[in-house]
Structure 1
């Protein structure tokens, strides 16, 4: 039985979860393109704290939607304003004017101030605004190109934050800084570099509840360490030495939290990320001994938040068979507070992925997750190869409704974590340096051939599917290996790498120096790897999608691809969705998107 497309529209995009001062659960979610912040009341009802204001962090690719402390919640409005909500009265106050972009609010321990990250597109800084909202916001930390995660020491006299500079991405060289603050108008007296440099990034600073220690995560070469900095002695100690696992995911968004302090400062709860999965651990601060905490059936975990008054904690978890949930752990009992999907979608039809490894064309290991249809007895099945974006993101052991949409219709669905993907160590990720548009293309090809040679899928019945930079890889794979894939779907892909390198937003302005090289010195490499300059090499049917308001990749790039393929008689279709950006959010858009994809794939992969 086919899993209906409608299940994809019943989902709520759970973004973050925290605990209020009295251990009530507060979370941010997106439903049908609208962001909201909810509070679970004492009678288990959900109270909408955003009250009609769409909630969205506006810096990097989002995140950092809200903060809560005591009886106050501060959230980011989609129109670049901060709002404060009093949990006692639910009264809402606008704290900042609609100017620039805002993210990652952090409420001071006394509830009088809010730190937050601000950007006008050219200058980024950490600003501060009084909770009474009667004064204008002011800058408090400035000078670096980017900022993340401002946080307060419990006495309110010190803050910590993350910063980094071009041409690096945060995971390549972010720094943790410590600063002393005070005064009637709250200003920064001094700042101190604590950790982080190129090749040894540091991030996620947190103060212990007793105020004696600053903790943070630091790259140790291949993996990551959890480090403690004694604020009095000014001494550092590695509490958890990461080996064969990461302690965080990449900072593509603001507000990521992969560990948290217990209320009594005796333990830290943290996630280990390895082999596309995640586990929860508790480490004793004094002894350094770590103990794993069972989290079955959840295999992917994120956004942990620990109570300031009890052993209660919350986090988000999912697995290939269980949609993303908000989990509250209280007195040893685990309670599901909220789910990203309706219960009606739980079904034995949900395919479980197999972790697979194969050899790339150069003989090195490549990883992926393979979903197979329920019944593959004595038959080879058509294949969809999904190419993730980033290109340094990854696919993991989380709920994949889209994969099941296809497997229930008889397709095998392969998610390739090609070299350059995160989650498998720094060396695996850094292998892509200078090779984007070539190495990952070969990894995609070798994945498909591996499954053909294993007798799992049918040669001549294979398709590619990718978004954004994943769409670029789709196009380059069609160029290099014509005829291997009988169809491809490319959504808001980057066709002209030269134009994108010149026009892209500030965050990724110099990312191409890592992915390909310096544009001025290696322009030919950009030309060679730009699909737009080699459209004549694409000879296979192509389905294109783009948003009319895409500020990252202009829709004209997809239009140029479409015009060329149609002129040469190559089957091609282009849909430009109005009022959509770099990623589709509206239900009516997604309904048409999946309808067109299913019809396209059925024509080229299922028809004999």
Structure 2
């Protein structure tokens, strides 16, 4: 079952499993940039496997309200967790009430959304684990190593402003500059002391040249050095910065969830 739902500034697609398949795990899916407003392939795959999935539009993007930026993206992730934790809402299309049953909530994000997911894990009490794919964890260190060139993130603001002005609205150039310099609340490195206490799965393609995998390896090692005993790293041979990575590796990370939460 699929519903279109809202919590304050965010609108979202809600994918619900059949009751006899429900494993009582809720997933908040946070995409990269730019993104599409629907993730039907991923949402259907996840719900068919027994998970409940909520795919929010970041505030200020697509049908959601407000302004778009890293700060509001983090707020949107928290609003999505809040909505899933309520276990019922109204389907905006039919105006009927929809209900679901979840015991655990997990943040899942790709690229930009991976960094947002990690920050949300650092400030929320609602999420029980985080899974990220090719995450943007060290924006301030992007292109630091000349031997491993990667995407120039300084082009992101003008690109969104020029090419997606009506999709990602009211961007603040100063906020984006601070974000890329690591001087912003959306810097996962600020939350190390909290993240070491939470189950985390990092997944990165070995052939990724958009965000090099060594950033994810650095973050993994930092968490291990600070005492984390519930973090795992999967490097995917032959994979790049593919939007299909979450679907292609579904069996791997869904199995990780089942083992972590003892789902038979």
What's 1:284 paired with?
none
- The aligned runs of 1:58-137 (5 Å cut-off) are none
Q: 1:542 aligns with which of 157, 176, 200?
A: 200
CA drift of 1:486 comes to 1.3
What's 2:255 paired with?
599
Is the CA contact 1:393–1:421 (under 8 Å) kept in the aligned structure 2?
no
Distance 1:411 1:382 in 2: 5
Is the CA contact 1:547–1:555 (under 8 Å) kept in the aligned structure 2?
yes
What's 1:198 paired with?
none
Distance 2:11 2:35 in 1: 13
Distance 1:370 1:522 in 2: 29
Establish whether residue 583 from structure 1 lines up as the match of residue 242 from structure 2: yes
Establish whether residue 402 from structure 1 lines up as the match of residue 42 from structure 2: yes
Is the CA contact 1:464–1:488 (under 8 Å) kept in the aligned structure 2?
yes
- The aligned runs of 1:139-538 (5 Å cut-off) are 352-359=1-8, 365-375=9-19, 381-390=24-33, 392-396=34-38, 400-422=40-62, 424=63, 428=65, 431-432=67-68, 435-436=69-70, 438-455=71-88, 456-457=99-100, 460-481=103-124, 483-500=125-142, 505=151, 508-512=153-157, 514=171, 517=174, 526-538=183-195
Distance 1:480 1:582 in 2: 27
CA drift of 1:510 comes to 3.5
What's 2:93 paired with?
none
Structure with bigger strand share is 1
Is the CA contact 2:87–2:101 (under 8 Å) kept in the aligned structure 1?
no
Structure with bigger helix share is 2
> 1:283-314 deviations in whole A, cap 9, x for unaligned?
xxxxxxxxxxxxxxxxxxxxxxxxxxxxxxxx
Is the CA contact 1:498–1:527 (under 8 Å) kept in the aligned structure 2?
no
Structure with higher Rg: it is 1
Distance 2:220 2:136 in 1: 13
Tell me: CA distance 1:408–1:504, structure 2 relative to 1, closer, same or farther (3 Å).
same
- How many pairs were matched up? 236
Distance 2:177 2:46 in 1: 43
CA drift of 1:519 comes to 7.5
> 1:437-466 deviations in whole A, cap 9, x for unaligned?
x32222222222223224545565111111
CA drift of 1:409 comes to 2.6
Is the CA contact 2:203–2:234 (under 8 Å) kept in the aligned structure 1?
yes
TM-score, with length taken from structure 2: 0.75
TM-score, with length taken from structure 1: 0.35
Tell me: CA distance 1:521–1:496, structure 2 relative to 1, closer, same or farther (3 Å).
closer
> 1:311-354 deviations in whole A, cap 9, x for unaligned?
xxxxxxxxxxxxxxxxxxxxxxxxxxxxxxxxxxxxxxxxx420
Is the CA contact 1:366–1:417 (under 8 Å) kept in the aligned structure 2?
yes
What's 1:556 paired with?
214
Unaligned stretches of 5+ in structure 2? 89-98, 159-170
Is the CA contact 2:211–2:241 (under 8 Å) kept in the aligned structure 1?
yes
CA drift of 1:509 comes to 2.5
SS in 2 for 1:549: coil
CA drift of 1:600 comes to 1.3
Greater relative contact order (Cα < 8 A, sep 6+): 2
> 1:69-93 deviations in whole A, cap 9, x for unaligned?
xxxxxxxxxxxxxxxxxxxxxxxxx
